[in-house]
Amino acid sequence: MKQVAIGKPVDNFTVVATSDKTFDLTTCKGKKLVLYFYPKDSTPGCTTEGQDFRDLHDQFERANTLVFGVSRDSLKSHENFRSKQCFPFELISDPEEALCRQFDVIKEKNMYGKKHMGIERSTFLIDEQGVLRQEWRKVKVKGHVQEVLEAVKSI
C-alpha cells in the first residue's frame, strides 16, 4: 500500500472502529472525510482535540463530512475514551499501524529525553471522490479543528 499524497486518490483501507464498526474507505464515497491521528487516548492534548471535533461535529455533518479519530489504542480504550468524552464520531483502532504507515504519521519522538516511535498529531481531509485534498502535520491543538472545518467548507 502506497503512502498518501495531496491531489492523489487514497488507496482503500479497511479498519475496525468503535461501536463494533468496520470502516472501509469506499463506503465514504459521496462524503468528505476527516481523519485525525492522535498519540493516545485520555491524554490532555488528545482529549482537547477530540472535544473540539465533538463541539463542532454538527457543522462537519452539515458540510457532508465524516470525522474519525485514529490512534494505536485498543478498541476497549477507545470505547471508554469516546464514552467519557461523549464523542459523536467513531474512533479507529490501529494497533498494527497499517493506517498510520499509509498516512506516514509514525515518527521518532522525544519524551523526557527518551526517544521512541509514536504518532505525530496529523489530520487529513479527503474529498467525496477519495482524493486527499489537504493535510496538517505536527498539529498544534489550539484552533486546529476550526481551521479544518474552514478547509472542509472551502471544497
Cell numbers representing residue 76 in the block: 476497549
Output the nine-digit C-alpha cell for 48: 482537547
CB 23 within 8 A of CB 100: no
Rounded Cα distance between 45 and 38, Å, is: 9
Catalytic residue status for 46: yes
Rounded (10°) CA dihedral 35, 39, 42, 46? -60
CB-CB contact of 18 with 88 (8 Å): no
Asked if 17 contacts 93 with a C-beta cutoff of 8 angstroms, the reply is yes
Q: Which of 28, 46, 86, 100 is catalytic?
A: 46
Cα separation, 101 vs 118, whole angstroms = 11
> Annotated active-site positions, please?
46
